Amino acid sequence: MENKKRTPWRRWVVLVLMILGFVVGGILVPVQPEISVAPEKLIEHPLFTLPVIGDFYLVNTLPTLALTIVLLVILAYFTNRSMKQSLKTDLVPRGVGGIMEALLEMLYNLTEGSAGAKYAPMIFPWFATIMIYVLFANLLKLIPGFESIGVFHHAHAEGYELQLLFGHWYSILPVKVAHDGYILAPFFRGISVDLNFTASLALIAVVMIQVVGFRAQGIGYLSKFFNTRTMFKTPFFGAMDFLVGLLELISELSKILSFAFRLFGNMFAGVVLVAIVAGLLGKITILPAMIMMFELFVGVIQAFVFGMLTMVFMAQATQGHGHEAEHAG
């Protein structure tokens, strides 16, 4: 067989994209984004005031939260539609129905392999819901223009000049001014880089871990944290078991911080990394684009890790602890 000579066309595509990015980067000079841990306010005045919490502002993670819910409802609608159509034909779902069936079947097999067939139906809905939602939250922020279109606010310190495009639409210029400058508050910001979202999701996950434990073991689940069964039979080892139980309680509460800061830290680090690389390279745009691919990979991995940890902890909560496991067996 004759060996066909390969044409390295992919290299030319990359070279053309690098040159095009360099030219466009010289014409439309990018502006270094304002990196903020807290979500930005879209409106300076609070929407309403709550008695205990205080002022409630419209921040740019709330529209993203609503958008993820709408997209998931649309996805569920088309998946259900695909499933109903498959029931009328050959029972083989196609399109989005086939993709979701394969994904959910893989997740259910993972749950059944870790928790067993008895507790898999109890754990699977929480595991799949959390994982799919975090995956949407992580990947949605990678859409072009997602964090670059918004409203301008007067900068409290150093800001940028504006250029009128048309109507009430302005473009921010890479020219810093000490007074009368503006900063951009984007309409949408990734909710995974909002500690309020990750902490709330972590709290839900940890609470449901305890619910699964109580449903599986009943009131005996509390002996995992307050073990007094051997306190009077063997005082020394009973006291040690009691202290170990208190450490288990502290470990259980620390899962909230672990869940919240792991997801928030990794996703926020991606935002900072892209901004730093883009600022250092200037007109060279191909490498920041490659960093975005890395952030895509991190977003998928973090969704999988968050979901898997939730599922594994729920599976552990169904198992007896120490003497309870012997009696259960």
Half-sphere exposure of 109 (CA within 13 A, CB side): 6
Kindly report the three-state secondary structure assignment for every residue of the chain.
CCCCCCCCHHHHHHHHHHHHHHHHHHHCCCCCCCCCCCCCECCCCCCEEECCCEEECCECHHHHHHHHHHHHHHHHHHHHHHHHHHHHCCCCCCCHHHHHHHHHHHHHHHHHHHHHHHHHHHHHHHHHHHHHHHHHHHHHCCCCCCCCCEEEEECCCCEEEEEEEECCEEEEEEEEECCCCEEEEECCCCHHHCHHHHHHHHHHHHHHHHHHHHHHHHHHHHHHCCCCCCCCCCHHHHHHHHHHHHHHHHHHHHHHHHHHHHHHHHHHHHHHHHHHHHHHHCCCCHHHHHHHHHHHHHHHHHHHHHHHHHHHHHHHHCCCCCHHHHHHC
Which residues share a beta bridge with 177? 159
Specify whether the CB–CB gap between 229 and 256 falls below 8 A. no
Rounded Cα distance, 70 and 97, in Å: 18
Residue 247: is it exposed, middle or buried by C-beta count within 10 angstroms (0-12/13-18/19+)?
exposed
Could you count the other beta carbons within 10 Å of the beta carbon of residue 244? 15
Give the separation between CA 179 and CA 122, rounded to whole angstroms: 58
Provide the residue-wise pLDDT of the chain in tens; the chain has 329 residues.
455 566 677 778 777 877 777 777 666 666 777 778 888 888 888 888 888 778 888 888 899 999 999 999 999 999 888 888 888 787 777 788 888 888 899 999 999 998 888 999 999 999 999 999 999 888 888 887 787 788 888 887 778 888 888 888 888 887 777 777 888 888 888 888 889 899 999 999 999 999 998 988 888 888 787 777 666 677 667 677 778 778 888 888 889 999 999 999 888 888 888 777 777 766 666 666 677 788 888 889 999 999 999 999 999 888 865 544 444 44
Contact predicate 272/35, CB 8 Å: yes
Letter for the amino acid at 167? G
Provide the token pair at 168.
């009430």
| Residue 39 burial (C-beta neighbours within 10 Å; 0-12, 13-18, 19+) | buried
Phi, psi of 280 (to 5 degrees): -75, -35
